[in-house]
């Protein structure tokens, strides 16, 4: 029997937006499926077009080194096209 992935929610800070965010789905895809207009281009973690910041929650990546520096990560930057939620998350648009 297939295991159903965990379902979390993703909110956009300062916007009245909340979407379903499945644990096995990149956040960008969940945002788009929820009707959120979020910038994207490469969708593979290199171009940084989709960059945002985490206000709360955490994510993980399945690629070795998404296009983020250690400083970016410390500042809470994430690349939603390749980021998977570990729980409920609150996102902010843009870089720091």
- Residue 8, token pair as written in the block: 């979390």
Interaction of residue 93 with ligand FES, rule CB under 6 A: no
Residues in region 47-86 near ligand FES by CB under 6 A: 47-50, 67, 79, 81
Determine contact, residues 40/79, Cβ cutoff 8 Å: no
d(CA 18, CA 46): 26
Decide the pairing of beta strands 59-61 and 83-85.
antiparallel
Which of 14, 41 has the CB closer to ligand FES?
41
Site for ligand FES contains 29 (CB under 6 A):
no
Residues that bind ligand FES (CB under 6 A): 40-43, 45-50, 67, 79, 81
């Amino acid at each position: 029997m297939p295991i159903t992935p965990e379902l979390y929610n993703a909110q956009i800070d300062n916007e009245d937006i909340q979407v379903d965010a499945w644990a096995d789905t990149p956040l960008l895809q969940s945002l788009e499926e929820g009707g959120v207009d979020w910038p994207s281009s490469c969708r593979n973690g290199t171009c940084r077009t989709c960059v945002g910041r985490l206000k709360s929650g955490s994510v993980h990546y399945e690629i070795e080194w998404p296009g983020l520096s250690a400083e970016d990560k410390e500042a809470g930057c994430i690349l939603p096209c390749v980021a998977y939620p570990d729980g409920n998350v609150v996102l902010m648009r843009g870089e720091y």
